Amino acid sequence: MRVLIKTSDALDHFKNASRLAEEIGITPQAINQWGEYIPDPSVGKIMAVIPGISYKIVREVPTPSRLTA
């Protein structure tokens, strides 16, 4: 399972990438590379600093490569 948080939701809370980056200990450039959703390594950090942020839990469907590993 994965927790999905929209990048725009986190940015709305902190108003810009620099403030968000400082809060979770990464660079603004890293945030600017995020897509629609925050990457897995940063999800826990975001949930810790914004406890009420909206998120979605999704179940990943196994791909053929995962089934043969």
CATH top class, domain 2-68: mainly alpha
Structure tokens at 29: 């450039």
Beta bridge partners of 37: 6
Q: What is the pLDDT of residues 22-51, one digit of tens each?
A: 999 999 999 999 999 999 999 999 999 999
Which band of pLDDT confidence, cut at 50, 70 and 90, is reported for residue 65? low
| Beta carbons within 10 angstroms of residue 48's beta carbon | 10
Residue ranges covered by each domain of the chain: 2-68
**pTM, full prediction:** 0.81
Structure tokens at 45: 């950090």
Structure tokens at 28: 């603004």
Please count the helices (runs of H) and the strands (runs of E) in the chain: 5, 2
Rounded CA-CA distance 51/27 in Å is: 21
